Structure 1
Amino acid sequence: MIQPANRTQGVKEYYFSVKLKEIAKLNEGAVKVLNLGIGDPDMSPSEDTWEMLKEACAHPKSHGYQSYVGIPALREGFSKWYKTFFNVDLNPDNEILPLLGSKEGVMITSLAYLNEGDEVLIPNPSYPTYTSVTNLLGGKIVSYPLVEENNYHPDFDALEKRDLSKVKIMWVNYPHMPTGARASKELLEKIVAFGLKHKILIVNDNPYSFILNDTPLSIMSIEGAKDCCIELNSLSKSHNMPGWRVGMICGKAEMLEPVLKVKTNMDSGMFYPVQQAAIKALAEDQSWYDSINKVYKIRRDLVFKLMNLIGCSPREDQGGMFVWAAIPKKYKDGYELSDKILKESKVFITPGGIFGDQGDKYIRISLCSSEAGIEEAIERIKEN
């Protein structure tokens, strides 16, 4: 057998990819699994977004290759979005780069800045892709714990005691996934100051700002941020467009240049109708976000009820599209509780340990299921 590259030995197949195969097997039976684990928005994009997609498909040049940096109107749309909701000024000509989803941004930013052996500060718990990409590229992971007692914020006193001389990138993400912890302006100021002091590239992954979060914040609004920070954002969660693959990265032009070099060698631009539809989505006013959050608030109340039913303890001040909660002490970890509920009730919830060992004693439930689906999950669990 031809041997795969050594870099593949440092990563495993994505947890949800494996779990979905297991769920598919279970679904061959009479009772289908209720999946409350994955953050896959089930509500629709706006009607204007749909109409523009259909209209743009008729454009004579819609099926050709597109610019690597997106059409100018899309970059302008992102710029206006940031000014309207974050009060951040971004030059659409050179401070915004559209992406095929922000997950692409995690990879190409790492490719653009990491050499083998460079160290990367990664929060624990956090989005698993930060870790897997760093492993694939031969970087060294330096985990920094986020604990409930500190509101899942970095412990800067502890970080300052470390040898940071080889750290190249620090990943941050607020509202935080998976815990739902929010950032404050004061926290973002501390993060920027830390990056400037130690000459570390801060990458803020910011796709959850508009979900159950009354004060959207961008790290780019902080003085000095453009000298050490770049930010990823996405329409996947905020505009119910996960499969459309529309994201962006923003920052000082000089800091985006290496990212653009990598991107131009990896893809050939975004489908023109999707770009036009994204422009419409970005133009939605506050009422759009309010309508989505109205639904999420109802679902969150139901998930709190489900959490209490299984003896978990969620905090009520969470943002984003998930509910994070500590498990009862009788369970070894979140995997044990998750497997028990899947086996007995055909309901899947996510064990917190997939986000790092700081999540071992937690579980996470997604708000991307209908009220009826969550209510059915509650009834199934009651029966067992």
Structure 2
Amino acid sequence: MIEAANRLHTVEEYYFSKKLREVNLLIASGKPVINLGIGSPDLSPPQKVVDAIANSLFDSNAHKYQSYQGLPELREAMATFYKEHYNVSLSPKSDILPLIGSKEGIMHISMAYLNQGDAVLIPNPGYPTYQSVTKLMQATPVFYELDERNNWQPDIKALEQKDLSKVKLMWVNYPHMPTGAVPSEHTFRELVDFAKRHDILIINDNPYSFILNDNPTSILNIEGAKDVCLELNSLSKTFNMAGWRVGMVVGNGDHINNILKVKSNMDSGMFYGIQKGAIEALNCSKMWFVTLNSVYKKRRDLIWKLAESLNCTYDKKASGLFVWAKLPAFVNAEEFIDLVLKEHHIFITPGTIFGSKGEGYIRFSLCAQTEDLEEAITRIK
């Protein structure tokens, strides 16, 4: 038996990969499971985006290998998007690298910068992939705790007390997943100053800034941020294109070039038609966001009612594609969601998959039809 690499002993199969097998078995056995666990948009992309990919199939270049850096017009559209919505100026030639989904960017950035034994600051609670990729790189995760009392913002004073001598990267994610906390300008300024003091590269993972959020922001809007920060962004949630796999990493051209050295050895470019569709999405008017959020507001109202039916509390000021709800005292998150799944056939995500600070919380997805949400409320009541 040929043994797998030692690095695989440091990670486990992704939670949703395992849990959804259980959920799908219940569905296959006839159980009417309502899935409120994952943030996979169920709404359609803009029609002009769908038309663009369909029409592109007849272009002479559609089926050829594509540039590792993406179409020039795609990078132009990304630069325009950042200028219009975040007031951040980027060079399409040097400061933008399209990605086959922003998730691959986490791996590419880590491969470009981490050596064995380096340390990485990771939020708790936070996206589990930050930790797993760090371990696969044989680097050391160093968790920094986020707390509801501090609106889930980093405590810079506490960070300063850690041994930062081996820290190379720091992952931040605002608007924050899973809590929905939005960043203050003060938070971003503190992070940029912190990165400069300790020679750390900060990456803000920013896929949720247009969902139920009136003030989309980028860390690159802070003066001097491009020297010490990168930002990941995605079209998955903003334009209902999760399965299309379109994202980007933006920042200083030197950093982008380092990431390109990895990426160009990992794939052979993004499918031409998807790039054409992405261009149309990025050129959407602001009415798209108004329409999208009107749907999510109705769904969130229903999720709030569902949370109340389960005796949970929540923050009405939070943004994003999820509702982060606090369980009654002394209730175990994983035991609770398993009970709800068994008795009511409703799948909810336990906060513990995002770290130890997620204990006592559960996360609801807004990616479900209003009829399903109303049915879920009825089942609980």
Structure 1 length normalisation: TM-score? 0.98
1:326 matches 2:305: no
Equivalent residues in 2 for 1:346-357, closer than 5 Å:
346-357=345-356
The residue aligned with 1:232 is 232
Letter in 2 for 1:367: L
Matches of 2:367 and 2:27, distance apart in 1: 19
Structure 1: 5+ residue stretches without partners: none
Shift of 1:28: 2.2
Output the amino acid matched with 1:213: N
Other-structure match for 1:2: 2
CA distance in 2, matches of 1:209, 1:285: 16
- Following the alignment from structure 1 to structure 2, what is the Cα–Cα distance between the partners of residues 92 and 274? 18
Instruction: Name the amino acid aligned to 1:371.
Output: T
What is the one-letter code of the residue matched to 1:275? Q
Rounded to whole Å, the distance in 1 between the matches of 2:335 and 2:330 is 10
Aligned partner of 1:114 in structure 2 is 114
- Equivalent runs, 1:153-164 vs 2, <5 Å: 153-164=153-164
Q: Which amino acid aligns with 1:336?
A: E
Structure 2 CA distance for aligned equivalents of residues 90 and 311 of structure 1: 46
Deviation digits for residues 88-129 of structure 1 (CA, Å, limit 9, x no counterpart): 000000100000000010000000000011000000000000
**CA distance in 1: counterparts of 2:204 and 2:286, whole angstroms:** 23
Give 1:234-313 correspondences, 5 Å limit.
234-313=234-313
Question: Counterpart amino acid of 2:195?
Answer: G
Match of 1:336, SS? helix
Cα offset, 1:29, TM superposition? 2.3
Look up the match of 1:93.
93
Q: What is the distance in 1 between the residues matched to 2:343 and 2:380?
A: 8
Opposite residue 347 of structure 2, the aligned amino acid is: F
Letter in 1 for 2:356: D
CA apart distance, 1:31:
2.5
Aligned-partner Cα distance in 1 for 2:352–2:111: 27
User: Residue 361 of structure 1 aligns to which amino acid in structure 2?
Assistant: G
Indicate the residue corresponding to 2:367 in structure 1.
Answer: 368
Consecutive unaligned residues of structure 2, counting only runs of 5 or more, are none
Matches for 1:30-41 after TM superposition, within 5 Å: 30-41=30-41
* In structure 2, distance between residues paired with 1:298 and 1:67: 41
Measure how far apart 1:56 and its partner are: 0.5
AA matched with 1:347: I
SS state of the match for residue 50, structure 1? helix
Aligned to 1:65: 65
Q: What is the Cα-based RMSD across aligned positions, in Å?
A: 0.7
Letter in 1 for 2:362: I
Q: Which amino acid aligns with 1:232?
A: L
Amino acid in structure 2 at the alignment position of 1:26 = L
> Any residues of structure 2 matched to 1:117-266 within 5 Å, and which?
117-266=117-266
Indicate if the aligned counterparts of 2:322 and 2:363 stay in contact, CA closer than 8 A: yes
Residues 330 and 360 in structure 2, CA contact (< 8 A), matched pair in contact too:
no
In structure 1, the partner of 2:42 is: 42
What is the percentage of aligned positions where both structures have the same residue? 54
Determine the C-alpha separation between the residues in 2 that align with 1:324 and 1:113: 32
CA shift at 1:25, angstroms?
1.0
Distance 2:206 2:199 in 1: 21
Instruction: Give yes or no for contact 2:98–2:249 (8 Å, CA) kept in 1.
Output: yes
1:135-187 Cα distance to aligned partner (Å, 9 max, x none): 11101010000000000000111111111111000000000000000001111
Describe the superposition over 1:14-62 as per-residue Cα deviations: whole angstroms up to 9, x where unpaired.
Answer: 0000011001111122322110000000111001101111111111220
Structure 1 distance, partners of 2:186, 2:57, is 45
Secondary structure of the structure 1 residue equivalent to 2:28: coil
Alpha-carbon distance in structure 2 between the residues aligned to 1:82 and 1:61: 27
1:330 deviates by: 4.5
CA distance in 2, matches of 1:329, 1:163: 33
Q: Distance in 1 between matches of 2:378 and 2:122?
A: 38
**1:122 counterpart SS class:** strand
Q: Distance in 2 between matches of 1:30 and 1:270?
A: 39
Where 1:64 maps in the other structure, the secondary structure is coil
Q: Distance in 1 between matches of 2:293 and 2:371?
A: 17
Shift of 1:313: 0.6
Alpha-carbon distance in 2 for matches of 1:153, 1:184: 9
Question: What is the one-letter code of the residue matched to 2:148?
Answer: E
Q: Distance in 2 between matches of 1:84 and 1:285?
A: 11
The alpha-carbon deviation at position 201 of structure 1 amounts to 0.2
State the distance in 1 between where 2:145 and 2:21 align.
Answer: 31
The 2-side partners of 1:353 and 1:20 are apart by 16
In structure 1, C-alpha distance between the alignment counterparts of 2:28 and 2:182, rounded to whole Å: 40
Q: Which residue of 2 aligns with 1:340?
A: 339
